[in-house]
Amino acid sequence: MKKTIITALLSLGLMTSLVAQQLPAKTESLSYYKGNELSLALGLNYANDSTQEYAPALALTYFVTKNLGVRALTKVNMTDVTAFDNVELVGLLRYPLGRFAPYVGGGVRYQGSATDTWSPVANAGLEFRVNQHWGLVGEYQYDFQKSPNFNYQDSSFRVFLNLVF
């Protein structure tokens, strides 16, 4: 009886060892944000200025590392239905926390057509990743050209649906 129990335990130990060798090694936990990340976002921009205008916006973002990225953005001017008469180029710094990633950014905006001006801008936002390829973004932007004194009426609010490649 003792020999049978010892043989069964040794056989069980040997089988467990063989099965464990066949299992894949433990991988890192799932990361929703990574470096070398390209994304395309489609959203809605609300200009909280004299125009009080809602406009579709399109953004292309590339994160070189998990934390540092650049973004090019344009929005459709609903008055004369033009795009690319306003373009932004912004550097971004994000801090991923699981599915959430708060971020800040700063850069320049070119406003063409009648105004033809360059202005510094500052951004702050939060992204929520639904999965590794889809995210929801909310963002606030302040345009320093309109007023050097902080005035919330010289700002934009944006929401995006973000597709990550």
**Residue 138 token pair:** 């909310």
| Closest alpha carbon to 125 in 106, 104, 107, 156 | 104
Q: Which of 61-70, 96-105, 115-124, 134-143 bottoms out in mean pLDDT, i.e. has the lowest?
A: 115-124
The per-residue pLDDT for range 60-83, each reduced to its tens digit, is: 999 999 999 999 999 887 666 665
The per-residue pLDDT for range 82-92, each reduced to its tens digit, is: 656 788 999 99
| Closest alpha carbon to 57 in 70, 38, 69, 40 | 40
Give the predicted TM-score (pTM) of the model: 0.75
The per-residue pLDDT for range 88-106, each reduced to its tens digit, is: 999 999 999 999 999 999 9
What residues have CB less than 8 Å from 154, skipping those under 6 apart? Answer: 48, 49, 142, 143, 144, 146, 147
Beta bridge partners of 164: 39
Any idea which residue has 């799932």 for tokens? 30
CB atoms within 10 A of CB 63: 22
Q: Could you give the domains of the chain?
A: 37-164 (2.40.160.20)
